[in-house]
């Protein structure tokens, strides 16, 4: 195996590892945004519903 073919194989491996790493990072980012953003979007609606129930009971 020549030095050039080793470099080509390592370059391909490094590219693959980089793509996998970026994919994992993007999945984690989306999961965090959905988790935190979704919580903030649902919470005011739940609070409004609770206030509406309290007003109806009075």
Instruction: Tell me the whole-structure pTM to 2 decimals.
Output: 0.56
Per DSSP, helices labelled H in the chain are 3-57
3-state secondary structure of 2: coil
d(CA 42, CA 55): 20
pLDDT 10s digit of each residue in the chain, 58 long? 677 888 889 999 999 999 999 999 999 998 888 887 665 555 555 555 555 555 555 5
Pair of tokens at residue 43 = 């919470």
Sorted by where each begins, the domain ranges of the chain are: 3-57
Pair of tokens at residue 16 = 């693959």
């Amino acid at each position: 195996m020549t030095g050039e073919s080793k470099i080509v194989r390592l370059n391909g491996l490094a590219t693959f590892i980089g793509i996998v790493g970026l994919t994992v990072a993007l999945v984690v980012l989306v999961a965090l945004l959905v988790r935190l953003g979704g919580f903030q979007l649902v919470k005011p609606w739940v609070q409004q519903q609770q206030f509406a129930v309290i007003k109806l009971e009075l």
